[in-house]
Amino acid sequence: MQPGLPALDAFPRKLWSRLGSRLLKSAQAGEMNYPDALGLMSLRKALAGYLLVARGVQCRPEQIIITSGYRACLQLLSYAYLKPLDQVWMENPAYFAARDLMLAQGQEVIGLAVDEQGLQVELGLQLAPKAKMAIVTPSHHSPLGITLSLPRRQQLLQWASAQQSWIVEDDYDGEFHYLTRPLPALKHLDNDQRVFYTGTFSKTLIPSLRLAYMVVPESQLALISGLCKTFDNSTPWLEQALVAQLLSEGHFTRHLKKMRNLYQQRRLWLSAALQAQFGHHASLTVQAGGLHLVLELQQQQDRELALHLNQQGLAVHALSAWATGPILRQGLIMGYTNIRSAAEAQALAQRLYQACEIYLRD
Ligand SMILES: Cc1ncc(COP(=O)(O)O)c(C=O)c1O
């Protein structure tokens, strides 16, 4: 039940090996040399087309840099713009790995609660109006799944423009909305060029690729490109070339369509099984998209509970371990993408309930 993993059984292995062997056979000397530290141009071009159509992000291919993962994007940005003790807004709760990276670099993380409209920008204006950066997940708040409303998007962008602060938009799973067409990315509204848009292939393909991307505002391109070269930001040619072909030949869009249908089904299986099993002992909010569910329990020891469940091989996360400030909610974060049948979902929900039983109050 590891949260955040795509369906590993549905990865297009045959296509991948066919395209891979074609590329290897035809590789020229240039492709065996050091790859461009900013990323392969064919992938950046294909991404520019894809981001415009799928996420409403308009940019030149030259503005896109390829990295070895979301945290590599954050590392570049914090090196470029942050000093120790600088304040950074994050949602509370938020992706623990981003929080830990900021803390490891000495930044002060200002955790801002989310409500049904997403990040409470107002709280940021009260607590740390001069923060240097905001790291946000507007499409689906990670991990609660809320979409940032239009008025909040505008408020956030206005703050960044007025303060000359930066916004990092983490669009980690913007492709996975099941009920309605997703809102375009926050970057779509970024008239003042304060937003660094980031995306990853960890959810749309597989995380072992270690491939992510970032759209850099024109005014910052020289600085960020220079840092990419200094730090040798490059990622392997073969994987980039393969993903570029998936995108440009239409395979990627077809794969996403297939995955959306699959995830909708798998999500239904797990949510129905959890509801049937836990009844009034837990509350399950099924958001419009994403790759995981959050089960909120009537008990206040989610870390202890998660540890206990993980010892039994269930691989869930404690919601409170994702706090970026005071712990506001407790529960279990669990993935459903690798559950292959309704029967498997029921068996998992039953195992989960039995393992939780001693922690549940009536
Ligand atoms: C909120 C969030 N952002 C970004 C990522 C992607 O990280 P990466 O590109 O390093 O795999 C993840 C992966 O789990 C995530 O949960």
Question: Within a domain: residue 146?
Answer: yes
Atom of ligand 1 nearest to the CA of 4: 14
Question: Within a domain: residue 221?
Answer: yes
List pocket residues of ligand 1, CB cut-off 6 Å: 4, 69-71, 95, 137, 142, 170, 172, 200, 202, 207, 212
Query: What is the 311 CA–ligand 1 centroid distance (Å)?
Result: 24
Q: What is the pLDDT of residue 358?
A: 79
Task: Determine what percent of the chain is predicted with pLDDT higher than 70.
Answer: 99
Find the CATH number of the domain harbouring 185: 3.40.640.10
Return the residue whose CA atom lies nearest to atom 12 of ligand 1.
172
Q: What span, in angstroms and rounded, lies between the C-alpha atoms of 54 and 52? A: 6
| Judgement on whether residues 241 and 257 belong to the same structural domain of the protein | no
Lowest mean pLDDT among 190-194, 200-204, 298-302: 298-302
| Judgement on whether residues 239 and 138 belong to the same structural domain of the protein | yes
| Judgement on whether residues 136 and 200 belong to the same structural domain of the protein | yes
| Judgement on whether residues 210 and 134 belong to the same structural domain of the protein | yes
What DSSP line would sit under 333-353, residue for residue?
A: EEE-TT--SHHHHHHHHHHHH
* pLDDT digits 0-9 by tens, 114-172: 999 999 999 999 999 999 999 999 999 999 999 999 999 999 999 999 999 999 999 99
Residues 93-117: what's their mean pLDDT? 98
pLDDT at residue 286 tops 90 = no
| Judgement on whether residues 272 and 224 belong to the same structural domain of the protein | no
183: left (phi over 0), alpha (psi -120 to 50) or beta: beta
Query: What is the 354 CA–ligand 1 centroid distance (Å)?
Result: 31
| Judgement on whether residues 303 and 173 belong to the same structural domain of the protein | no
Q: What is the pLDDT of residue 288?
A: 83
| Judgement on whether residues 170 and 279 belong to the same structural domain of the protein | no
Contacts of 94 (CB under 8 A, 6+ apart): 111, 135, 137, 142, 322, 324
Q: What span, in angstroms and rounded, lies between the C-alpha atoms of 251 and 238? A: 17
**Domain count of the fold of the chain:** 2
Continuous H helices in the chain: 13-26, 29-32, 41-55, 70-81, 96-104, 121-127, 150-163, 201-204, 221-230, 237-248, 251-278, 302-311, 342-356
Residues 253-268: what's their mean pLDDT? 96
Residues 77-97: what's their mean pLDDT? 98
Q: What is the pLDDT of residue 281?
A: 87
Ligand 1, pocket-test mutation among 99, 142, 146, 175, most atoms within 8 A of CB: 142
Question: Within a domain: residue 152?
Answer: yes
Banded model confidence at residue 362, pLDDT cuts 50, 70, 90: low
Query: What is the 172 CA–ligand 1 centroid distance (Å)?
Result: 6
| Judgement on whether residues 310 and 266 belong to the same structural domain of the protein | yes
300: left (phi over 0), alpha (psi -120 to 50) or beta: alpha
Q: Which two tokens stand for residue 191?
A: 């008239």
The residue range of the domain holding 270 is 253-360
Return the residue whose CA atom lies nearest to atom 3 of ligand 1.
172
pLDDT at residue 357 tops 90 = no
pLDDT at residue 192 tops 90 = yes
C-beta neighbour count of 239 within 10 angstroms: 21
pLDDT at residue 361 tops 70 = no
Q: What is the pLDDT of residue 255?
A: 98
Q: Do residues 111 and 103 lie in contact, with contact meaning Cβ atoms separated by under 8 Å?
A: no
Residues 303-318: what's their mean pLDDT? 93
* pLDDT digits 0-9 by tens, 18-60: 999 999 999 999 999 999 999 999 999 999 999 999 999 999 9
Query: What is the 308 CA–ligand 1 centroid distance (Å)?
Result: 25
pTM above 0.85, yes or no: yes
Question: Within a domain: residue 3?
Answer: no
| Judgement on whether residues 204 and 342 belong to the same structural domain of the protein | no
Q: Which two tokens stand for residue 354?
A: 């039995």
Question: Within a domain: residue 6?
Answer: no
Banded model confidence at residue 355, pLDDT cuts 50, 70, 90: confident
Find the CATH number of the domain harbouring 288: 3.90.1150.10
Question: Within a domain: residue 1?
Answer: no
Q: Do residues 134 and 156 lie in contact, with contact meaning Cβ atoms separated by under 8 Å?
A: yes
Q: What is the mean pLDDT of the chain?
A: 95
- Among the candidates 179, 214, 249, a domain finishes at 249
Q: Do residues 189 and 161 lie in contact, with contact meaning Cβ atoms separated by under 8 Å?
A: no
Question: Within a domain: residue 105?
Answer: yes
Atom of ligand 1 nearest to the CA of 211: 9
Q: What span, in angstroms and rounded, lies between the C-alpha atoms of 175 and 177? A: 6
Atom of ligand 1 nearest to the CA of 200: 9
What DSSP line would sit under 65-133, residue for residue?
A: EEESSHHHHHHHHHHHH--TT-EEEEEES--HHHHHHHHHTTPEEEEEEEETTEE-HHHHHHH-TT-SE
Q: What is the pLDDT of residue 179?
A: 84
Q: Do residues 294 and 3 lie in contact, with contact meaning Cβ atoms separated by under 8 Å?
A: no
Atom of ligand 1 nearest to the CA of 212: 9
Query: What is the 203 CA–ligand 1 centroid distance (Å)?
Result: 8
| Judgement on whether residues 204 and 223 belong to the same structural domain of the protein | yes
pLDDT at residue 339 tops 70 = yes
Task: Determine what percent of the chain is predicted with pLDDT higher than 90.
Answer: 92
Residues 259-266: what's their mean pLDDT? 96
Question: Within a domain: residue 208?
Answer: yes
C-beta neighbour count of 75 within 10 angstroms: 18
- Among the candidates 190, 224, 249, a domain finishes at 249
Atom of ligand 1 nearest to the CA of 95: 1
* pLDDT digits 0-9 by tens, 224-246: 999 999 999 999 999 999 999 99
| Judgement on whether residues 209 and 258 belong to the same structural domain of the protein | no
- Among the candidates 203, 233, 249, a domain finishes at 249
Secondary element (H or E) of residue 194: none
| Judgement on whether residues 231 and 284 belong to the same structural domain of the protein | no
pLDDT at residue 198 tops 70 = yes
Pick the closest to residue 40 from 256, 262, 234, 228 (CA basis).
234
More confident residue, 285 or 127: 127
